[in-house]
Structures are given as structure tokens and as C-alpha cells.
Amino acid sequence: MDIRKVVLIHPGREGRILGRATGAPYTLMRLASLVPDEIPVEIWDENLGPLDEKLGQLGPHDLVGITSKTLAIESAERFAAIAHRAGVRAVVVGGAHATLMPEDVARWADVVVTGEAYHTWPQIIQDFLHDDLKPRYHDSDWADLAGVAPITERVIRMVDENRRYWTPMMEITRGCPRNCSFCTAIRVSGQRMRLRPIDEVVDEIERRRLRRFFLTDDNFGLAFRTNPDYVESLLKALAPLPLHGWTAQAEMLVSTHPDLLRLARHAHLDKLFIGFESVNPDNRRDLGGKSKGLISQYKKAIKDVQACGIGVVGLFVFGFDHDTPQTLIDTWDFVRESELDSVSMTILTPYPGTPFRAQLIEEGRLMTDKPWRYYDTAHVTYYPKRMTVEELERTYDWVCRQAYHPLSIVRRGLRALSRHPIPHLPRKVFGSFSTDYGYRRTYDWRQVQGSRLLSAWDTAE
Ligand code: B12
Ligand code: SF4
């Protein structure tokens, strides 16, 4: 079959802030780069504007790909329906939700893609051209990241991320050997940590003219222990680049590598997002071995990382089986006393494919009537063990109101800013406040637009 164009869709939710969308659609940039040069390709991001009208103009010679997080899967389904009405015959859906719940997506998508798709996506394009599309494609091996889907010049020009987005994304490692009971990332990216060649990382940063980025790696900090030589060479290669700052996810043990942390500071690393997850030691079995719910250890880790000039964003999850409302109050006490630069507070969410979800189903504690759009980590979607749903919701609202009060944000932002030498301050302002501001927006979304939008959805059903 002739192909007119490939359209890759990112269902949105946050929209724009001051004219720009928040995170650039990195997943789709990598996939668009695998489309052969002679085939036109476009990336449509709903965060930049509504897509319904454009979708209505597609036809049978267009190949449509949609990426799917669980919370956005209903938007993806709606887009697929509009595209089908317009005559599209090939709506391909991949990503976390499609990988974890292919049968859920197969109800309405023409093609469901599970796994990383570095091998299958090029095959799908060829099969479309030969009128031979299959309903399922599964990428079974974890690709060696060398030479995989380098971002092409046409994609860089098309996305224009430095002008249209606040935060470009970047991938350096993939996979995490831990096994947290609630984590979907390892079910999508595997438990073997894979590393991109350093020259490819540098080349991509230079060609995309990145000044700041958020690392998509699930546990970059663990590489400090497992692959110290790689990390050292990487950081030395990043140091001379004209970066304004970058951020990465890590676990606590990163704090035991001061030499690498100091190198990271020279390499422009601003902040590490550290998954402390819980201040309740009784939950440690669920935390995959990376943290044990011990406040004294957390305090030391924060101090040791900050001593190397790097900020710490503390990530906390509420609603584990040993949690009570007091756990949330204790968490706020800890956050207040700690010197954290930013803080993320989320509600445990039983994503498909996780042992946590399986346990809830077995115990009859999953709310089976909750639509996927509530899986945003700010809503309760199961029955907690040691508190009621209302208690969890009410205490969560309380703790978020404390943590994301403008004064709390300003206090933490100024603390983060003070970590930098005076000449660097202008380019550090954005990063010092943006993380907390982003989390506040997620929480606000639950409170204001969220409840309005969710109830609009509910009425529409
Ligand atoms: C970067 C990231 C973000 C960025 C998003 C930036 C952006 N613009 O997309 C930020 C920080 C904003 C973010 C936010 C959230 N995220 Co997030 N995020 C990630 C992370 C760490 C990396 C994703 C990534 O870019 N990887 C690199 C790219 C190249 O790979 P990829 O996305 O996996 O895509 C590959 C395949 O999945 C497949 N594929 C994907 N889409 C498609 C589409 C087609 C057509 C095809 C063929 C193939 C295909 O091919 C790709 C290439 O290999 C993943 C963890 C992970 N390892 O997957 C979590 C992850 C996707 N996020 C998750 C969650 C829960 C969230 C939040 C709800 C968390 C929160 N409390 O705020 C929010 C939701 C925000 C929103 N409105 O969508 C979950 C999703 C779980 C689920 N079942 O949906 C994940 C899996 C992490 C986890 N907790 O386990 N996230
Ligand atoms: S450490 Fe993070 S990425 Fe690794 S299994 Fe746990 S939650 Fe998932």
C-alpha cells in the first residue's frame, strides 16, 4: 500500500505553561527517527494543542502510532476512534500500557506493540507498505543501546524542542536490577541495566543543542555502583559541554560515591531525584532493597549528596500496606526538617503488570470501577489496608497543601539556588523552582481542573 505519512501521537494532559509544553516527546522523537527518510513523518503532541480536527483529516494511506501511559490510554482510544472514522486503517499503539495490558488495547487498536519496538517499529512500517500488517508485534530482546534509533536532523528540526518545550529528555542508561513491588519501569525496560555509548550521548546532546535535560533513566544513580568506570568517563565527557544543568533519578546509595558526585557536579548535574519512597520501616519489603524506611539514613544521604554541590529531590509514595495517616504526617515532619531541594508526594498506584496489583486482585482490594485516567498517582484506586480511602485522600491533600504551599516552594527553591556560585545564578533560577512547581501543578490538577475534567469524563460516560 502507498504511504502518505506516518503520524506519531502523544496524548497530553498538562497543556502549556507560558506558551511551552513541559516534557518533550522523547519517545516519539526516537521512533520518528526510525522512519525511512523518504516517508514523511509528523509528531503530534496534544499538550501543544487539540488534535481532533487534524485527526479527522487523515485517511487510509496514513500510518498512525500512539504512545500509551496507563493514565492516558482512554485519550489514546478516543484518538483511535476519530482516526478510524476518518478512514485510517492502521492505528498502532505501543508503550507502557500496551506492553503491560495488550489485550486491553487490542479491543480498539489495529496493531498492538509490546516491548521496546526498536526492532518491530521499522518492521511495522515495511508491513504497512506491503499490506501485511499483523495485529501484534513483540520486541522480545532488550536491544543493545549502541547505535539504536539516533535522533535524526529532520526530527530535531520538526520538534524544535528548545523553543516549544521547557524540559527536553535524554536517555543514557535503561533498565534497573531492583525489584520494587509497585514498579512498572522494570517490566517495560527490563532488569539489566544497559548503557549507551558515551560518544553517542555527547553527539546527541550537541546535535539537539541541549542546554538542560531530564534523564529518562530509571535508576541512573545505581550505575555509580555497578558501572563506575562508565559513569566516570561519561561525566568527564559531559563536563566541557555548554550545559546549564540536568537532572537524573537515583537511589540512596549514590550518596556513597562522593568522588563521582563531585565529577557529576562539574558535569553540570543539578539535582538527583532520589526514591526514598517511605519513612515507615515496616514497608521495606516493598522497596526492592534500595531503601529501608530509615529516616536517619535518609538524612545522611541528603547531606552527603548536597555536600558535593548537588540538590536532592525526595520522592515519597503513600498507601503501602503498613501505612496509616500517621505515616503521611511523619513524612511531612521529615520533609520539613530535611534540607530537601524539592519533594514529590504520590499515592501508590496499582499499575498493570506489577506484583502489587496482583496482590490487590487476590485480596479483593482493587477498585475495579476506576477508569485508567485515575491512575495518575494523585488518586486512590484501591482499598488501603490500615486506613480508609477517605483517610488516605484527606491526609494526602493535607500533606500536599503543606508541601506545595507557595512559601514552602520558595523556601526550598532559594535553598537550591544558594548552592550555586553567584555568576551561575541566572541560569539556575529555572531549575531551582521548576520541579516543585511541576509537582504542585500535578496536585492542583487533582484539586481543580482534575476534578472538573474527571467529572466531565464521568458525565460523558
Ligand atoms: C521520562 C518519563 C516521564 C516524563 C515524561 C516525558 C514525556 N514527555 O514523555 C515525566 C517526568 C514528565 C513523566 C511523568 C509521569 N510518568 Co513517567 N516515565 C518516564 C520514564 C522514566 C522514561 C520514559 C522514556 O521516555 N523512555 C525512553 C523512551 C525512548 O522509551 P519508552 O518511552 O519506554 O518507549 C519505548 C517503548 O515503550 C515503545 N513505545 C512507546 N510508545 C510507543 C508507541 C508506538 C506507536 C510504538 C510502536 C512503540 C512505542 O518504543 C519506545 C522505544 O523503545 C518511564 C520509565 C520507563 N523506563 O519507561 C516513566 C513511566 C512511563 N512514567 C510513568 C508514570 C506513572 C508517570 C506519572 C503518572 C508519574 C507522576 N506521578 O507524575 C507522570 C504522568 C505524566 C503524564 N501526564 O503522562 C510510568 C507509567 C506506568 C504506566 N503503566 O503507565 C513509567 C513506566 C514509570 C513507572 N512508574 O514505572 N514520566
Ligand atoms: S529502583 Fe526504581 S526503577 Fe528500580 S525497580 Fe525500584 S522503582 Fe523500579
Measured from the CB, is residue 95 less than 6 Å from ligand 1?
yes
Q: What is the pLDDT of residue 447?
A: 67
Measured from the CB, is residue 217 less than 6 Å from ligand 2?
no
Give the global pTM. 0.94
Measured from the CB, is residue 66 less than 6 Å from ligand 2?
no
Residue 53 C-alpha to ligand 2 middle, in angstroms?
39
C-alpha angle 302/303/309, rounded to 5°? 95
Q: What is the pLDDT of residue 460?
A: 41
- Rounded Cα–Cα distance for residues 66 and 112 (Å): 10
Q: Which ligand is nearest to the CA of 216?
A: 1
Q: Which atom of ligand 1 is nearest to the CA of 65?
A: 45
Q: What is the pLDDT of residue 415?
A: 83
Same fold, 5-139 and 168-449: no
Measured from the CB, is residue 196 less than 6 Å from ligand 1?
no
Measured from the CB, is residue 67 less than 6 Å from ligand 1?
yes
Q: Provide the residue type at 150 as one letter.
A: P
Element (H, E) at 428: helix 425-447
Measured from the CB, is residue 9 less than 6 Å from ligand 1?
no
Measured from the CB, is residue 450 less than 6 Å from ligand 2?
no
Taking Cα atoms as reference points, which of 223, 245, 244 lies closest to residue 234?
Answer: 223
Q: Are 74 and 371 in contact (CB under 8 A)?
A: yes
Task: List Cβ neighbours of 369 (8 Å cut-off, separation of 6 or more).
Answer: none
Measured from the CB, is residue 165 less than 6 Å from ligand 1?
no
User: Hey, is 103 helix, strand or coil?
Assistant: helix
CA-closest residue to ligand 1 atom 44? 94
- Rounded Cα–Cα distance for residues 178 and 248 (Å): 17
Q: Are strands 245-250 and 269-277 parallel, antiparallel or unpaired?
A: parallel
Q: Are 283 and 322 in contact (CB under 8 A)?
A: yes
CB atoms within 10 A of CB 12: 20
Question: Cell numbers 528540526 label which residue?
Answer: 157
- DSSP letters, 156-213, are HHHH-HHHHEEE-EE-SEE--S---TT--HHHHH-SS-EE--HHHHHHHHHHTT-SEE
| C-alpha to C-alpha distances, 289 to 24, 174, 222, 251, 394, nearest whole angstrom | 32, 19, 12, 10, 30
**123: exposed, middle or buried (Cβ count in 10 Å: 0-12, 13-18, 19+):** middle
CB atoms within 10 A of CB 69: 20
Measured from the CB, is residue 112 less than 6 Å from ligand 1?
no
Measured from the CB, is residue 26 less than 6 Å from ligand 1?
yes
Length of the chain: 461
Q: What is the pLDDT of residue 449?
A: 47
Q: Which atom of ligand 1 is nearest to the CA of 346?
A: 71
Q: Are 178 and 134 in contact (CB under 8 A)?
A: no
Q: Provide the residue type at 134 as one letter.
A: K
Element (H, E) at 64: strand 62-67
Q: At the top level of CATH, which class does the domain 168-449 belong to?
A: alpha beta
Q: Which CATH superfamily is domain 5-139 in?
A: Cobalamin-binding domain (3.40.50.280)
Q: Which of 48, 119, 188 to mutate to test the pocket of ligand 1 (most atoms within 8 A of CB)?
A: 188
- What's the order of all strands across the beta sheet hosting 16-17? 16-17, 20-23, 165-167
| C-alpha to C-alpha distances, 44 to 7, 25, 28, 48, nearest whole angstrom | 7, 9, 9, 8
CA-closest residue to ligand 1 atom 20? 216
- Rounded Cα–Cα distance for residues 8 and 67 (Å): 8
Per-position pLDDT tens, the chain of length 461: 899 999 999 999 888 988 999 999 999 999 999 999 999 999 999 999 999 999 999 999 999 999 999 999 999 999 999 999 999 999 999 999 999 999 999 999 999 999 999 999 999 999 999 999 999 999 988 888 999 999 999 999 999 999 999 999 999 999 999 988 888 888 888 999 999 999 999 999 999 999 999 999 999 999 999 999 999 999 999 999 999 999 999 999 999 999 999 999 999 999 999 999 999 999 988 887 788 888 999 999 999 999 999 999 999 999 999 999 999 999 999 999 998 999 999 999 999 999 999 999 999 999 999 999 999 999 999 999 999 999 999 999 999 999 999 999 988 888 888 888 888 888 778 777 888 888 888 777 676 544 544 444 444 43
**Domain regions of the chain by residue span:** 5-139, 168-449
Q: Are strands 245-250 and 212-215 parallel, antiparallel or unpaired?
A: parallel
